[in-house]
Amino acid sequence: MIYTDYISQACEELLYKDSAVKFLIQPLDHWENALGEYSAEIVRSESGLTVNKGNGCRRSLSLKLYDKDGIFTPNKNSDIWYNRKIKILAELSDGTDTYRFSQGVFLCSEAQITRGVVRLSGVDKYANLNGEYNVGTLSTPFSTDISRGTVYVGEVIREALLRDIGCGYPIDPVPPLIDPYFDAEPLYSDIALSAGQHYGDIITRLAEMYGADCYYNPAGHLVFQRRPTYSRPEWYIHLGYIYRYSDRDKTVQAGSEVGTHRFDGVNCVTVASDSVSGETVSYTARNLNAQSPVNVGAVGERWADPPVRYISIGDTSSGDSLAKCREYAEYLLLQRTRDSVSEAFTSIYLPHFDVDKVIRYKDEDFVIDSLSIDLGSRAMGVKASNTAFMPSNRSVIGYE
């Protein structure tokens, strides 16, 4: 039986065996129909996959392959060409059961061919939204008009993805994974973009307005997900861990553990709205977690640059404006705190890992910030932040 994106004890045991993992490449057309499936003959060096937290492009790929049959040599009749993509799969098998894990859908930015060796470089599909691949550019100004009726956030995102790129193809034909909250959440302020900007700017603007994550997941779906920061900025504490590194874990390479403390860490972020009935509303999120080495009580106030971020609130009441400012300020503070306190180590490649997932490491919970995977050696660099150090509504004096 073939299992997709499913981890089990039997699968974990396979991971500990040498050469247990092989990588498959599926070339895709623009509509993401598979044009074939090939076992990747990876040149042992110079092939890597990186994943970083944050909105927009998260995944990047550099793949060096033996290509004796010319399968991956680009031309208009080959599997690698304009408007085509590649999907990377990790596969493990014990002869009876097969486990497959999606590692990303990528747009190829460049292919270099040298004597039967092809090097493919690419990033995830957000590059078709942010203008990096010269796709999804506005030729005329764009604006919403909530004065004519209710416009829902999810509707705006779907319409942006289905915009014609000029040849009858939509920017992204794959249905996005949008938090159901946004299918019932009306747009509270119009969005206006000028010619030359990109449809990805619409989605990024919405993420800022609502304190949401927007990125492509390993299976190639756009995710637009709300984080419940207003009541629980420490949402990750309540996630179960996806893997536990035990003491003397054989999966961790000796001597690879590195702790990082950046002394320019941020513990205060202010978000302000435009004027509401003549009143400007703002909220400052502060790291008051007594366990955190960068909490305000321990090191004083350290402000983000710029110290104040402005968001458009439109005609909402001052109470709603304050709630939205608070939500986005706490979202930004969490991201900045994760930038300043982290630990890194190298382990064997574990294909179900992804950023924003929680792992158990040194008997504490860590949230993954980035991954750097050597596809040739099957080694994986992990950078993660201790959840105990993150901002929290709980402090020694109780809730704020």
Q: What's the pLDDT tens digit per position in 295-314? A: 898 889 999 888 888 887 76
Name the strands in the sheet holding 177-178, side by side, starting at the edge strand that comes first in the sequence: 177-178, 222-226, 212-216
**Which of 226, 258, 288 marks a domain boundary?**
226
Say if residue 255's pLDDT is above 80: no
Same domain for 97 and 153? Answer: no
Per residue in 188-204, is it b (16+ CB within 10 Å) or e — as a string?
bbebebeeebbbbbbbb
3-class SS letters over 293-318: CCCHHHHCCCEEEEEEEEECCCCCCH
Rg, the chain, Cα only: 23
The C-alpha angle with vertex 251 and arms to 245 and 255, in degrees rounded to 5, equals 95
Whole-number pLDDT of residue 231: 52
Residues 6+ away with beta carbon under 8 Å from 306: none
Give per-residue pLDDT as tens, 191-237: 888 999 999 999 998 988 888 899 999 999 999 998 755 455 566 76
Q: How far apart are the first and last CA of the chain?
A: 52
pLDDT, averaged across the chain: 85
Same domain assignment for residues 242 and 354: yes
Residue 356 reports pLDDT greater than 50? yes
In a domain, 398, yes or no: no
In a domain, 128, yes or no: no
Residues 249 and 385 in one domain: yes
> Judging by beta carbons within 10 Å of its beta carbon (0-12, 13-18, 19+), is residue 372 exposed, middle or buried?
middle
Q: What would the mean pLDDT of 352-379 be, rounded to a whole number?
A: 91
Query: Tell me, what's the pLDDT at 250?
Result: 64
Its domain, for residue 239, covers 235-389
Give the model confidence (pLDDT) of 60-115 as tens digits: 999 998 888 888 888 888 888 888 899 999 998 888 888 999 999 999 888 888 88
d(CA 113, CA 135): 25
- How many domains is the chain partitioned into structurally? 3
Name the pTM for this structure: 0.89
**Last-in-domain residue among 226, 254, 280:** 226
Nearest to 350 by CA among 266, 245, 261: 245
Residue 110 forms part of a structural domain: yes
Same domain, yes or no, for 314 and 357?
A: yes
| pLDDT for the residue 256 | 65
Question: Same structural domain for residues 241 and 367?
Answer: yes
Give whole-number Cα distances, 260 to 340, 368, 383, in Å: 8, 14, 10
The answer to whether residues 222 and 243 belong to one domain is: no
Would residue 127 count as lying in a domain?
no
For residues 93 and 148, state if they share a domain: no
User: What's residue 25's pLDDT?
Assistant: 93
- Which of residues 209 and 353 earns the better pLDDT score? 353
- Residues 95 and 164 both lie in one domain: no
Residues 25 and 97 in one domain: yes
The reported pLDDT for the residue numbered 156 is 95
Predicted local confidence at residue 322, as pLDDT: 84
Q: Are residues 207 and 259 in the same domain?
A: no
Which residues are bridge partners to 198 per DSSP?
Answer: 137
The answer on pLDDT for 258 being more than 60 is: yes
Are residues 287 and 244 part of one domain? yes
Region 10-16: mean pLDDT is 81
Amino acid at 98: T
Domain-terminating residue out of 195, 226, 257: 226
